[in-house]
Amino acid sequence: MNVPIKIVTTKGNDVVDHLNDVVFILGALVLVIANGFFVAAEFALVKIRPSKLEEMVRNGRPGANSTLRLTKRLDHALSARQLGITVASLGLGWIGEPAIARLLEPVFHGVGITTPVPMHGLAFAIAFSIITALHLVIGEQAPKIQRSADPIGRPWPARFHYGFSTRHPTRSSGC
């Protein structure tokens, strides 16, 4: 016997509303981390010395060969990383800001701000500030500083290139 599954999405259902908020907040955090991943990959490719990379290839370090190929096709590799950064950033603004703004609404009601225009304006300003701070610190500066100081580190950002090519959607950047 098949029983159809209904997803409750009626307005005013507190459980569904809170679950949606949690999912969107978690999604925003995933997008901040994804943005940082692509930034780290970009800086790993730009900052690594070719002589060090060639030494790593000779020593058989995993991922060094594909990273060396990527550095020889830097224009395509960087374009793919920029695409990842852009998509993650746009997604972050799209789902993160409204989710945080919705979570702030009860706080405003608690302090007596119930008029929609000021409440939504304040919620937007605070949410935008939080999302921007997370994006800049975790999604941009931390990976940039880490990869600038140690471009070799763990090779995963430079090796993660399959599926993110601007010319071939399922292959690496021409490598």
65-76: pLDDT as tens digits: 888 888 888 888
- 36 CB-contact burial (10 Å; exposed 0-12 / middle 13-18 / buried 19+): buried
**What's the predicted TM-score (pTM) here?**
0.69
d(CA 99, CA 107): 14
- For 120, the domain range is 14-159
**Contact criterion met (CB below 8 Å) for 155 and 47:** no
Whether 52 is in a domain gets the answer: yes
Whether 62 is in a domain gets the answer: yes
Whether 170 is in a domain gets the answer: no
Whether 173 is in a domain gets the answer: no
Model confidence at 34: pLDDT above 60 = yes
Q: What is the mean pLDDT of residues 25-39?
A: 90
Domain count, the chain: 1
Whether 172 is in a domain gets the answer: no
d(CA 168, CA 175): 10
- pLDDT at site 87: 92
Whether 98 is in a domain gets the answer: yes
Whether 7 is in a domain gets the answer: no
Q: What percent of the chain has pLDDT over 90?
A: 6
Whether 6 is in a domain gets the answer: no
Q: In sequence order, what are the residues at sequence separation of 6 or more whose Cβ sits closer than 8 angstroms to the Cβ of residue 39?
A: 81, 85, 139, 140, 143, 144, 147
